[in-house]
Chains A and B, each alone.
Chain A
Amino acid sequence: MITLDGEQMPWKNGMTISFLLQEIADDHPYAVVKINGRYVSRPNFDTHVIPENAEIFLIPMIAGG
Chain B
Amino acid sequence: MKTFNLKEIKSLTYQRPEIQKGYANQTLCVDITSADISIKPVSDQMKQIFVGGKGFDLWLLWHAVSGTTQWTDPENTICIASGPMGGTPSYPGSGKSIVTSLSPLTGSVIDSNVGGYFGPYLKFSGFDALEINGQASREVVVYIDGVSETVTIFEAGDLPEDAYETSSVLTQHFGNEKPRGISVVSTGPGAKNSLMGCLNVTWYDPKRKRARYKQAGRGGLGTVFAHKGIKAVVARWDTVSMNSNNPADKETLKVVAKSYSREIVELDPKQNEMAKIGTTHLVPIMNDFDLLPTNNFKFGQHKMASLIGKDVYKDFFDPGFDGCWMGCTVACSHGVKDFVPLTGPYKGVKVFVDGPEYETIAGCGSNLGIFDPFTIVEINFYCDAYGLDTISVGTTMAFAMECFEMGLINESHTGGLNLNFGNRDAALELLHQVARGKGFGMVLGQGVRQMKKLFTSEFGVDAQILEDIGMESKGLEFSEYMTKESLAQQGGYGMALKGPQHDEAWLIFLDMVHNYMPTFEQKAEALHWFPMFRTWFGLCGLCKLPWNDIVPEDNKDTEEPAKVIKHMTWYAQYFGAVTGRNVVPEDLITISEAVYNFQRIFNLKMGFGTRAQDTLPYRAMGPVTEEEYDSRQERYDSQLTEKHGIDIEGKSTAEKVAALRKLREEQYEKLKDAVYERRGWTQNGIPTVKTVKRLNIDFPAVLEILKKNGVTS
Question: Of B284, B506, B555, B564, which contacts A64 at CB under 8 A?
Answer: B506
Contact partners of A61 in chain B: CB under 8 A: 271-272, 285, 509
| CB atoms of B548 and A5 under 8 A apart | no
**CA distance in complex: A57, B553 (Å):** 10
Let me know if B562 is at the binding interface, CB within 8 A.
yes
Contact partners of A44 in chain B: CB under 8 A: 288
* Cβ contacts B268-304/A at 8 Å (1 or 0 each): 0011100000000110111011000000000000000
* Cβ contacts B551-570/A at 8 Å (1 or 0 each): 10101100001101000000
| CB atoms of A65 and B556 under 8 A apart | no
Contact partners of A43 in chain B: CB under 8 A: 288-289
Would you give the shortest CB distance from A53 to chain B, in whole angstroms? 17
| CB atoms of A34 and B270 under 8 A apart | yes
| A18-65 contacts to B (CB < 8 Å) | 28-29, 31-32, 34, 38-39, 41-44, 57, 59-65
Contact partners of B535 in chain A: CB under 8 A: none
- Of the stretches B127-135, B145-153, B510-518, B642-650, the one at the interface is B510-518
Let me know if B549 is at the binding interface, CB within 8 A.
yes
| CB atoms of A63 and B270 under 8 A apart | no
Let me know if B399 is at the binding interface, CB within 8 A.
no
**CA distance in complex: A3, B479 (Å):** 37
**CA distance in complex: A57, B508 (Å):** 22
With A31-B513, A57-B270 already in contact, the answer to whether A65 and B503 are too (CB < 8 A) is yes
With A63-B548, A64-B509 already in contact, the answer to whether A28 and B285 are too (CB < 8 A) is no
| CB atoms of A60 and B285 under 8 A apart | no
With A43-B289, A61-B509, A63-B506 already in contact, the answer to whether A29 and B284 are too (CB < 8 A) is no
Let me know if B481 is at the binding interface, CB within 8 A.
yes
With A31-B509, A64-B508, A64-B509 already in contact, the answer to whether A59 and B271 are too (CB < 8 A) is yes
| CB atoms of B553 and A5 under 8 A apart | yes
Contact partners of A5 in chain B: CB under 8 A: 270, 553
Contact partners of B549 in chain A: CB under 8 A: 63
Question: Of B285, B506, B548, which contacts A39 at CB under 8 A?
Answer: B285
Chain A: how many interface residues by the 8 Å CB criterion?
20
Would you give the shortest CB distance from A24 to chain B, in whole angstroms? 13
**CA distance in complex: A61, B286 (Å):** 12
**CA distance in complex: A59, B359 (Å):** 21
Let me know if B47 is at the binding interface, CB within 8 A.
no
Most A C-beta atoms less than 10 A away, residue of B284, B503, B547, B556:
B556
Chain B: how many interface residues by the 8 Å CB criterion?
36
| CB atoms of B285 and A65 under 8 A apart | no
Contact partners of A31 in chain B: CB under 8 A: 285, 289, 509, 513-514
Question: Please, which residue of chain B has its CB at the minimum distance from the CB of A43?
Answer: B288
Question: Please, which residue of chain A has its CB at the minimum distance from the CB of B545?
Answer: A63
Contact partners of B514 in chain A: CB under 8 A: 29, 31, 62
Let me know if B453 is at the binding interface, CB within 8 A.
no
Question: Please, which residue of chain B has its CB at the minimum distance from the CB of A37?
Answer: B273
With A39-B281, A42-B289 already in contact, the answer to whether A62 and B562 are too (CB < 8 A) is yes
| CB atoms of B548 and A41 under 8 A apart | no
Let me know if B10 is at the binding interface, CB within 8 A.
no
What number of residue pairs across chains A and B have CB atoms under 8 A from each other? 72
| CB atoms of A41 and B289 under 8 A apart | yes
| CB atoms of A41 and B285 under 8 A apart | yes
Contact partners of A34 in chain B: CB under 8 A: 270-271
Let me know if B502 is at the binding interface, CB within 8 A.
yes
Would you give the shortest CB distance from A47 to chain B, in whole angstroms? 12
| CB atoms of B285 and A29 under 8 A apart | no
**CA distance in complex: A32, B284 (Å):** 11
| CB atoms of A60 and B551 under 8 A apart | yes
| B481-517 contacts to A (CB < 8 Å) | 481, 502-503, 506, 508-510, 513-515
| CB atoms of A32 and B506 under 8 A apart | no
| CB atoms of B513 and A29 under 8 A apart | yes
With A39-B281, A41-B285, A43-B288 already in contact, the answer to whether A60 and B506 are too (CB < 8 A) is no
Contact partners of B271 in chain A: CB under 8 A: 34, 57, 59, 61
Would you give the shortest CB distance from B652 to chain A, in whole angstroms? 29
* Cβ contacts B508-530/A at 8 Å (1 or 0 each): 11100111000000000000000
Contact partners of B556 in chain A: CB under 8 A: 28, 60
Question: Of B288, B359, B548, which contacts A62 at CB under 8 A?
Answer: B548
Question: Of A39, A60, A62, A65, which contacts B284 at CB under 8 A?
Answer: A39
Contact partners of B506 in chain A: CB under 8 A: 63-65
Would you give the shortest CB distance from B330 to chain A, in whole angstroms? 12
Would you give the shortest CB distance from B92 to chain A, in whole angstroms? 14
Would you give the shortest CB distance from A10 to chain B, in whole angstroms? 21
Binding site for A on B (CB under 8 A): 270-272, 281-282, 284-286, 288-289, 310-311, 358-359, 479, 481, 502-503, 506, 508-510, 513-515, 545, 547-549, 551, 553, 555-556, 561-562, 564
Binding site for B on A (CB under 8 A): 5, 28-29, 31-32, 34, 38-39, 41-44, 57, 59-65
22 A-B pairs within 8 Å (CB atoms) are namely A28-B556, A29-B513, A29-B514, A31-B285, A31-B289, A31-B513, A32-B285, A38-B311, A39-B281, A39-B284, A41-B284, A42-B513, A57-B270, A57-B271, A61-B271, A62-B509, A62-B510, A63-B547, A63-B551, A64-B508, A65-B358, A65-B502
